[in-house]
């Protein structure tokens, strides 16, 4: 940790992300409108959806890192893939926590076995399996390559989650299909700002975790 923040550019970037995150949080609490029948639960939307975006982005990086490991045979791609998988699973866990809280005022219950929720849970469990596989140990190079293959295959579920509201019949859909382009400025602009904030937070976390993992592997 100390080595990472010894670089002035890393300290400055972390400071800027912290300020951005604080401003975003205050904006969500005090400036975003409350929708009828949802009240304060609506504000979870500005955390829930950006968290899902970061989760999907993280798993995309896992897939790219896995492909690059096979192409370049450079262990740094395994470090990046593992770091991205950790971050993605953290944020998908956050999605699975904030989603039911947001849903309670709308559905009257925290959980419904509908397509979007179910496929998101399956995605989360896929990557828990990824970590379990890595924890079994064995030949390091073989584990790295097999984990890369698993990360590539697991990404197949990401577009399934994203398109789940269109793949299944409307009769079994409960998840809201929000058209952000049609939202009023009071909702759209804070949402975009939160999306940007979470993206920069992801970049910082990926750089930091990759640095830590690389340091452990080189110890």
Owning domain of residue 171: 42-217
pLDDT in tens, 82-124: 999 999 999 999 999 998 888 777 777 777 887 888 889 999 9
Task: Confirm whether 89 is domain-assigned.
Answer: yes
Task: State both tokens at 178.
Answer: 């929000």
Number of domains in the chain: 1
Task: Confirm whether 34 is domain-assigned.
Answer: no
Task: Confirm whether 31 is domain-assigned.
Answer: no
Distance CA 112, CA 141 (A): 41
- pLDDT exceeds 60 at position 140: yes
The distance from CA 178 to its chain's CA centroid, rounded to whole angstroms, is 19
Task: Confirm whether 184 is domain-assigned.
Answer: yes
Tell me the CA end-to-end span of the chain in Å, nearest whole number. Answer: 14
**pLDDT band, very low/low/confident/very high, at 38 (cuts 50, 70, 90):** low
So what's the pLDDT on residue 183?
A: 64
- pLDDT exceeds 90 at position 34: no
Task: Confirm whether 168 is domain-assigned.
Answer: yes
Task: Confirm whether 98 is domain-assigned.
Answer: yes
- Give whole-number Cα distances, 74 to 63, 67, 77, 211, in Å: 15, 11, 6, 15
pLDDT in tens, 153-176: 999 999 988 887 666 555 555 555
So what's the pLDDT on residue 174?
A: 55
Task: Confirm whether 149 is domain-assigned.
Answer: yes
Task: Confirm whether 8 is domain-assigned.
Answer: no
């Amino acid at each position: 940790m100390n080595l990472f923040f010894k670089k002035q550019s890393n300290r400055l970037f972390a400071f800027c992300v912290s300020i951005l995150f604080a401003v975003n949080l205050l904006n969500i609490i005090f400036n975003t409108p409350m929708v009828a029948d949802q009240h304060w639960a609506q504000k979870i939307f500005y955390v829930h959806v950006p968290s899902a975006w970061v989760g999907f982005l993280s798993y995309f990086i896992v897939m790219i890192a896995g492909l690059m490991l096979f192409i370049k045979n450079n262990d740094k791609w395994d470090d990046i893939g593992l770091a991205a998988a950790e971050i993605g699973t953290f944020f998908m866990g956050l999605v699975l926590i904030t989603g039911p809280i947001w849903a309670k005022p709308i559905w009257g219950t925290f959980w419904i076995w509908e397509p979007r929720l179910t496929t998101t849970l399956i995605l989360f469990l896929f990557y828990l399996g990824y970590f379990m596989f890595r924890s079994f140990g064995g030949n390091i190079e073989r584990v790295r390559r097999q984990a890369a293959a698993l990360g590539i295959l697991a990404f197949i579920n990401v577009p399934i989650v994203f398109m789940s509201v269109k793949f299944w019949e409307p009769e079994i859909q409960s998840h809201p299909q929000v058209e952000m382009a049609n939202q009023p400025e009071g909702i759209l602009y804070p949402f975009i700002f939160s999306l940007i904030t979470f993206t920069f937070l992801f970049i910082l976390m990926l750089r930091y975790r990759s640095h830590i993992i690389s340091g452990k592997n080189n110890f």
